[in-house]
C-alpha cells in the first residue's frame, strides 16, 4: 500500500470517529502538555537567571556571617582583598529599614548602604543619573540612588525624572543622584534594589554601627571562582576566629548558586517527567483500548480488505498508522496546550514577583522533537498489539463476522 | 477452445474444531473455462461456502490442488494468496460489503490500493468498471450508504471488475435483494459473461442458478448429480461454453482425482465424449472401468435432453 493511500485511509477512518478519537488522545495531550509546560517554565527560569546574572556577577562571591564574635567590617574586607589572591575588590553592604518621603508620598523600604564598587559587583543597570561614587562614600554625603520601584511609589511613575529632587529619611534630606532598574539587581540580595545611600552615610546616620550585613568578593577576570571562594572562606575562618564554620559563615559564588539551582531544576524535571510519564502511559492504554474496540468494530471491513487483496502487513500498517497519527495529533495539541499553560503560569509569576518581569517560558526545539518522538513511540507500542491482532484475523471468519 | 481458468483437483478441507473434525470438502474436482458462467448450488452446510472461499483464495485446502490460470496456488503463502486476490480475483458478496462512508468511486477503487496500479490510472479503471454495470454517473460521488440495494450490488460488481480479474466469484449476490432487483443484477452478470468474463456464482436458489451456463451441485462436501442423487468425482468444463459438462462418476468413499484425459481403468467419461452424464449403481467400491458398452454395475443415465449411447 502506498503512503498516499495509507494516509487517506488513516484520516478517513479517524474522521469517522472524531469525538472518540478526541477523547482518546486526551491522555496524550495532558501528558505532553505537562512535560512541555514544565520544561518551558524551567527553561524560562534558567534563562531569566542567566540574563539577570550578568557577566559581572559570574565574578561575585557572596559572604554572610551569623553569630560571630568579630563581625564583618570594612577593615576585615580590606584584609581579604590583601590576603586572598585573584581578588579585584571586596565591597560590603549594610541595610536599614526606614521611611523615605517625597513631597507627595512616603514609602517604608529597605535602604542599602553601598560603596561605589557594589554596583559593579551586582551588575546594576542605571536608567538615570549616576551611581554612588567613592567621594560620596568618603564624605558620607546625603545622596541617594533609587530603584525604579521606589521612584514609582514616591513620585507616581517609574519614568519620572527625579534626579536632583530631594527626599527625606528621618529628619535628613537626601538628593537623588540616580535611578537603577530594580529588576536588574541580583535576586540574592532580595531586599536590595529599593534605594542605595553611601555605606558611611548609612552607618553614621541610620545604623550607628560599622558592622556589615554582607560582603561581595569580586574575583579577577579568568580566576577560578571556586578557588577564590575556598580561599576567602579559609581566610575569614581564621580572621574572624570562627568556631563553627558551617553555621557561622556562608561563602558562595554566583556560579555555585546557579549550578545548585540547576541541579534542583533537574531534580524537579525528573519528578515532572515521572508524573508526565504516568499520564502518557495511561494515555497509551487509552489508545490501545480504542484501537482494540476499533478492530472489533471493523472486523468485516478487515475481512473485506483482505478479500480485495490486502496483505497482513497492509492491515497492520493501516491500524498502526491510525494509532501513530492519533498520538502525534495528541502530541502536537499537547505542545500547544503546554506552551500556553507555561505562558499563563509565567504571567502569574510576574504578577506576584515583579522582579521576574523579564520572564518568558523557553520552549526548546529539543523538547518538541522529544515530545513528538515519544508520541510516535507510544503510537507504535500501544498500537502494535491491536494492529497485529487485526492482521492475524482469518479473512473467512472476518467476512462472516456479524 | 477457451483455456481452463479454474482447475480444482480433489480438494479436501477439514476444519479442526473443539467438537472434533469437520470434513467440509470431501474431494471436489471441478474445472471452469474462461468465459463461462457457472452456478454452484447447494443447501446450507453443503460446503459451498467453503468451496467458494477456497476458490477465492481466502482459504487453503487441507489437501488437493488448485490451479488458477494454470498455477497451483494450494501451497501459496498468505501474502501470495493476497496478491492473487488483489490481481486475479473479484468478489461479490451477499451483503455488498461496501465502505459506507466512502463514495461510490472510492469504493470501486479500493482493491487497486493493494496493487501497483498508478494512482492516475485508478480512476479511469474505476469509471470503466462502473460503466460496465450501468450505474448512472450522478451516483459516482454519492456515499455508498445513500444507494439502494440494487445500486449497491452493482457498485460491488464494478469493484470486482476493477482489477480486470481472471475470475469473478459471487456469493449469493441476490440474497439480499428482491426478485426484480435481483434479476437486474443477474442480467448484469449475464452481460459480463457475454463480454467474456468468467463467473462462478454460489446460490441456493434454482431460479438464480438458471441464469448460468451450467450448474454444479454440491452436497455434504461433494459434487453431486441432482438427477440421480449420486455423488460425482469430478465435473469438467465443457469444450465450448454452453456445451455439456462432463462428469466423472464416483464410488462412495475417497477416490483419487482423475486428470483430464485420464482413461485408464477408471470410470472415465472422456472416452465417451457425447455422454453428458453417467450414474453409477452399487455401493462403495463397486465401480469398475467405464466403457462404451457399459459394464456390469454401471449404466449410462439419460441426460436431460441429451442423447445417450
pLDDT tens, position by position, A62-117: 888 887 778 888 888 889 889 888 899 999 999 888 889 988 888 888 899 999 99
B87 and B193 within one domain: yes
Name residues whose C-beta falls within 8 Å of residue B13's C-beta, 6 or more positions apart in sequence.
B23, B24, B25, B47, B50, B54, B59, B61, B62, B221
Give the mean pLDDT of B250-268. Answer: 38
Residue range B268-309, pLDDT digits in tens: 343 333 333 343 333 333 233 232 223 223 333 333 333 322
Query: Chain-centre distance of CA A136, in angstroms?
Result: 37
Q: In Å, how far is A1's CA from the nearest CA of chain B?
A: 5
pLDDT of residue B282: 32
Give the mean pLDDT of A24-52. Answer: 81
Q: Is the pLDDT of residue A166 over 50?
A: yes
pLDDT band at B246 (very low <50, low <70, confident <90, very high): low
Instruction: Specify the 3-state DSSP secondary structure of B40.
Output: strand
Work out the mean pLDDT of chain B and round it to a whole number: 79
The verdict on B125 touching A (C-beta cutoff 8 Å) is no
A331 and A391 within one domain: yes
B236/A5 Cα distance (integer angstroms): 42
Grid coordinates 487509552 are at which residue?
A286
Q: In Å, how far is B230's CA from the nearest CA of chain A?
A: 30
pLDDT of residue A321: 94
Asked whether residue A59 is domain-assigned, the answer is no
Selected for mutation to probe chain B from A6, A11, A309, A398 (highest B CB count within 10 Å) is: A309
Asked if A314's CB is within 8 angstroms of B91's CB, the reply is: no
A124/A114 Cα distance (integer angstroms): 12
Q: In Å, how far is A259's CA from the nearest CA of chain B?
A: 58
Shortest CA distance to B233 belongs to which of B220, B242, B224, B241? B224
B156 and B245 within one domain: no
A209 and A95 within one domain: yes
Name residues whose C-beta falls within 8 Å of residue B135's C-beta, 6 or more positions apart in sequence.
B104, B151, B154, B155, B158
pLDDT of residue A54: 58
Residue of chain B whose Cα is closest to the Cα of A5? B113
A357/A351 Cα distance (integer angstroms): 8
B117 and B90 within one domain: yes
A234 and A281 within one domain: no
B244 and B160 within one domain: no
Asked whether residue A58 is domain-assigned, the answer is no
Percentage of chain A exceeding pLDDT 90: 30
The verdict on B91 touching A (C-beta cutoff 8 Å) is yes
Q: CA torsion B121→A314→A297→A374, rounded to 10°?
A: -120
Asked whether residue A125 is domain-assigned, the answer is yes
pLDDT of residue A37: 87
B146 and B8 within one domain: yes
Q: Which of A301, A307, A313 sits opposite B99 (nearest CB)?
A: A301
Asked whether residue A60 is domain-assigned, the answer is no
Q: In Å, how far is B305's CA from the nearest CA of chain A?
A: 39
Q: In Å, how far is A6's CA from the nearest CA of chain B?
A: 9
Query: Which of A214, A241, A268 is the last residue in one of the domains?
Result: A241
Interface of A to B at Cβ within 8 Å reads 1-2, 4-5, 9, 12, 16, 300-301, 304-314, 395-396, 399
A95 and A25 within one domain: no
B173 and B290 within one domain: no
Give the mean pLDDT of B180-193. Answer: 92
Instruction: Specify the 3-state DSSP secondary structure of A272.
Output: helix
pLDDT of residue B178: 92
Query: Which of A208, A241, A274 is the last residue in one of the domains?
Result: A241
The verdict on B101 touching A (C-beta cutoff 8 Å) is yes
| Domain that residue B142 falls in | 4-216
Residue range A313-351, pLDDT digits in tens: 999 999 999 999 999 999 999 999 998 998 888 888 778
Rounded (to 5) percent helix, strand, coil in chain A: 60, 15, 25
Provide Rg for chain B, Cα atoms: 20
For residue A354, count other CB atoms closer than 10 A to its CB: 12
Q: Write out the three cell numbers for B140.
A: 459516482
B211 and B283 within one domain: no
Q: Which of B59, B101, B111 sits opposite A308 (nearest CB)?
A: B111
Residue of chain B whose Cα is closest to the Cα of A1? B114
Asked if A308's CB is within 8 angstroms of B91's CB, the reply is: yes
pLDDT of residue B293: 29
Cβ atoms of residues A68 and A242 within 8 Å:
yes
- CATH number of the domain to which B178 belongs: 3.40.50.300
For residue B226, count other CB atoms closer than 10 A to its CB: 14
Grid coordinates 534626579 are at which residue?
A163
A162 and A32 within one domain: no
Percentage of chain B exceeding pLDDT 70: 76
**Residue B152: HSE in the Cβ half-sphere, 13 Å Cα cutoff:** 21
Query: Which of A180, A208, A241 is the last residue in one of the domains?
Result: A241
B57 and B114 within one domain: yes
pLDDT of residue B228: 65
Q: How many residues does chain B have?
A: 309
B210 and B229 within one domain: no
A178 and A94 within one domain: yes
pLDDT of residue B154: 92
The number of distinct structural domains making up chain A is 2
A376 and A264 within one domain: yes
Q: Greater confidence, A356 or A215?
A: A215
Name residues whose C-beta falls within 8 Å of residue B89's C-beta, 6 or more positions apart in sequence.
B56, B57, B165, B166, B167, B168, B169
Residue range B91-135, pLDDT digits in tens: 999 999 999 889 999 999 999 999 999 988 999 999 999 998 888
Cβ atoms of residues A305 and A1 within 8 Å:
no
pLDDT band at A187 (very low <50, low <70, confident <90, very high): very low
**Residue B285: HSE in the Cβ half-sphere, 13 Å Cα cutoff:** 0
Asked whether residue A15 is domain-assigned, the answer is yes
The verdict on B82 touching A (C-beta cutoff 8 Å) is yes
Instruction: Specify the 3-state DSSP secondary structure of B26.
Output: strand
| Domain that residue A279 falls in | 3-53+258-400
Shortest CA distance to B234 belongs to which of B65, B82, B72, B43? B65
A148 and A267 within one domain: no
Give the mean pLDDT of A141-149. Answer: 90
pLDDT band at A272 (very low <50, low <70, confident <90, very high): confident
A268 and A184 within one domain: no
Q: Is the pLDDT of residue A386 over 50?
A: yes
B54 and B20 within one domain: yes
Residue range A358-382, pLDDT digits in tens: 677 777 888 888 888 989 999 999 9
Q: In Å, how far is B21's CA from the nearest CA of chain A?
A: 17
pLDDT band at A307 (very low <50, low <70, confident <90, very high): very high
Give the mean pLDDT of B49-65. Answer: 92
Residue of chain A whose Cα is closest to the Cα of B96? A304
Give the mean pLDDT of B195-204. Answer: 94
Q: How many residues does chain A have?
A: 402
Query: Which of B198, B216, B234 is the last residue in one of the domains?
Result: B216
A337 to A12, A26, A41, A321: CA distances (angstroms): 25, 11, 13, 24
Asked if B101's CB is within 8 angstroms of A311's CB, the reply is: no
The verdict on B173 touching A (C-beta cutoff 8 Å) is no
A202 and A84 within one domain: yes
Asked if B58's CB is within 8 angstroms of A300's CB, the reply is: no
The verdict on B77 touching A (C-beta cutoff 8 Å) is no
Q: Is the pLDDT of residue A178 over 60?
A: yes
B120 and B73 within one domain: yes
For residue A308, count other CB atoms closer than 10 A to its CB: 25
pLDDT of residue B41: 94
Give the mean pLDDT of B240-264. Answer: 50
Residues of B in contact with A395 (CB under 8 A): 58-59
Between A and B, how many residue pairs show a Cβ–Cβ distance under 8 A? 62
Instruction: Specify the 3-state DSSP secondary structure of B211.
Output: coil
The number of distinct structural domains making up chain B is 2
Give the mean pLDDT of B137-149. Answer: 92
Q: Greater confidence, B159 or A153?
A: B159
* Torsion-angle region of A146 (φ positive above 0: left; ψ -120 to 50: alpha; else: beta): beta
A263 and A232 within one domain: no
Work out the mean pLDDT of chain A and round it to a whole number: 86
Asked whether residue A253 is domain-assigned, the answer is no
For residue B77, count other CB atoms closer than 10 A to its CB: 10
Instruction: Specify the 3-state DSSP secondary structure of B16.
Output: strand
Asked if B114's CB is within 8 angstroms of A308's CB, the reply is: yes
Residues of A in contact with B126 (CB under 8 A): none
pLDDT of residue A356: 62
B69/B34 Cα distance (integer angstroms): 9
Q: In Å, how far is A385's CA from the nearest CA of chain B?
A: 20
A80 and A7 within one domain: no
Kind and range of the H or E element at A74?
helix A74-83
B306 and B172 within one domain: no
Amino acid at each position: 500500500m502506498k503512503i498516499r493511500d495509507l494516509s487517506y485511509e488513516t484520516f478517513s477512518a479517524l474522521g469517522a470517529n472524531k469525538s472518540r478519537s478526541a477523547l482518546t488522545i486526551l491522555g496524550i495531550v495532558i501528558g505532553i502538555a505537562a512535560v512541555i509546560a514544565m520544561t518551558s517554565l524551567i527553561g524560562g527560569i534558567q534563562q531569566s537567571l542567566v540574563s539577570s546574572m550578568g557577566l559581572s556577577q559570574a565574578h561575585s562571591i557572596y559572604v554572610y556571617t551569623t553569630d560571630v564574635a568579630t563581625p564583618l567590617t570594612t577593615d576585615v574586607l580590606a584584609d581579604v582583598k590583601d590576603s586572598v589572591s585573584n581578588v579585584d575588590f571586596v565591597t560590603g553592604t549594610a541595610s536599614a529599614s526606614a521611611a523615605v518621603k517625597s513631597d507627595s508620598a512616603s514609602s517604608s523600604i529597605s535602604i542599602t548602604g553601598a560603596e561605589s564598587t557594589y554596583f559593579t559587583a551586582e551588575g546594576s543597570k542605571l536608567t538615570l543619573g549616576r551611581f554612588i561614587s567613592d567621594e560620596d562614600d568618603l564624605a558620607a554625603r546625603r545622596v541617594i540612588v533609587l530603584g525604579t520601584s521606589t521612584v514609582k511609589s514616591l513620585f507616581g511613575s517609574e519614568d519620572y525624572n527625579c534626579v536632583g529632587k530631594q527626599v527625606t529619611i528621618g529628619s535628613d534630606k537626601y538628593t537623588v543622584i540616580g535611578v537603577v532598574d530594580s529588576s536588574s539587581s541580583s535576586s540574592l540580595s532580595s531586599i536590595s534594589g529599593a534605594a542605595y545611600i553611601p555605606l558611611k552615610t548609612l552607618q553614621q546616620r541610620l545604623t550607628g554601627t560599622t558592622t556589615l550585613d554582607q560582603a561581595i568578593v569580586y574575583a579577577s577576570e579568568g580566576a577560578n571562582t571556586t578557588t577564590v571562594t575556598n580561599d576567602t572562606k579559609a581566610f575569614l575562618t581564621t580572621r574572624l576566629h570562627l568556631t563553627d564554620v558551617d553555621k557561622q559563615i556562608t561563602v558562595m559564588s554566583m556560579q555555585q548558586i546557579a549550578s545548585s539551582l540547576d541541579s534542583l531544576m533537574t531534580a524537579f524535571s525528573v519528578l515532572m517527567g515521572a508524573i508526565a510519564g504516568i499520564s502518557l502511559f495511561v494515555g497509551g492504554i487509552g489508545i490501545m483500548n480504542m484501537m482494540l474496540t476499533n478492530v472489533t468494530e471493523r472486523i468485516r471491513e478487515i475481512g473485506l480488505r483482505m478479500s480485495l487483496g490486502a496483505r497482513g502487513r497492509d492491515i497492520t500498517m493501516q491500524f498502526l498508522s491510525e494509532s501513530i497519527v492519533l498520538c502525534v495529533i495528541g502530541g502536537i495539541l499537547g505542545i500547544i496546550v503546554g506552551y500556553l499553560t507555561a505562558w499563563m503560569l509565567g504571567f502569574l509569576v510576574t504578577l506576584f514577583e515583579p522582579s521576574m518581569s523579564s520572564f518568558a517560558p523557553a520552549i526548546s526545539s529539543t523538547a518538541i522533537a522529544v515530545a513528538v518522538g515519544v508520541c510516535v513511540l507510544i503510537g507504535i507500542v500501544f498500537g502494535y498489539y491491536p494492529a497485529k491482532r487485526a492482521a492475524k484475523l482469518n479473512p473467512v471468519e472476518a467476512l462472516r463476522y456479524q | 477452445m477457451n483455456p481452463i481458468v479454474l482447475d480444482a483437483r480433489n480438494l479436501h478441507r477439514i476444519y479442526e474444531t473443539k467438537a472434533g473434525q469437520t470434513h467440509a470438502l470431501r474431494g471436489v474436482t471441478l474445472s471452469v473455462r474462461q468465459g463461462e458462467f457457472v452456478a454452484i448450488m447447494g443447501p446450507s452446510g453443503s460446503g459451498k461456502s467453503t468451496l467458494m472461499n477456497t476458490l477465492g483464495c481466502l482459504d487453503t485446502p487441507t489437501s488437493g490442488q488448485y490451479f488458477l490460470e494454470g498455477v497451483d496456488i494450494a501451497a501459496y503463502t498468505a501474502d501470495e494468496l493476497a496478491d492473487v486476490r488483489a490481481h486475479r480475483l473479484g468478489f461479490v458478496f451477499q451483503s455488498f460489503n461496501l465502505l459506507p462512508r466512502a463514495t461510490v468511486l472510492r469504493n470501486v477503487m479500493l482493491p487497486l490500493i493493494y496493487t501497483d496500479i498508478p494512482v492516475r490510472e485508478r480512476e479511469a479503471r474505476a469509471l470503466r468498471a462502473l460503466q460496465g454495470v450501468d450505474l448512472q454517473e450522478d451516483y459516482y460521488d454519492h456515499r455508498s450508504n445513500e444507494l439502494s440495494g440494487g445500486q449497491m450490488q452493482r457498485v460491488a460488481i464494478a469493484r470486482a471488475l476493477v482489477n480486470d480479474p481472471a475470475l469473478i466469484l459471487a456469493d449469493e449476490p441476490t440474497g439480499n435483494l428482491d426478485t426484480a432487483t435481483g434479476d437486474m443484477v443477474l442480467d448484469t452478470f449475464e452481460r459480463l459473461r457475454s463480454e467474456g468474463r468468467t463467473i462462478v456464482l454460489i446460490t441456493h436458489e434454482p431460479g438464480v442458478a438458471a441464469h448460468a451456463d451450467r450448474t454444479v451441485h454440491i452436497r455434504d462436501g461433494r459434487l453431486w448429480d441432482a438427477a440421480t442423487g449420486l455423488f460425482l468425482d469430478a465435473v469438467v468444463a465443457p469444450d465450448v461454453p454452453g456445451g455439456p459438462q462432463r462428469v466423472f462418476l464416483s464410488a462412495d468413499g475417497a477416490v483419487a482425482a482423475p486428470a483430464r484425459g485420464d482413461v485408464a481403468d477408471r470410470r472415465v467419461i472422456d472416452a465417451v465424449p457425447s455422454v453428458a452424464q453417467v450414474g453409477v449403481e452399487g455401493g462403495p467400491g463397486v465401480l469398475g472401468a467405464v466403457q462404451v458398452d457399459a459394464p456390469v454395475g454401471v449404466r449410462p443415465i439419460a441426460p436431460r435432453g441429451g442423447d445417450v449411447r
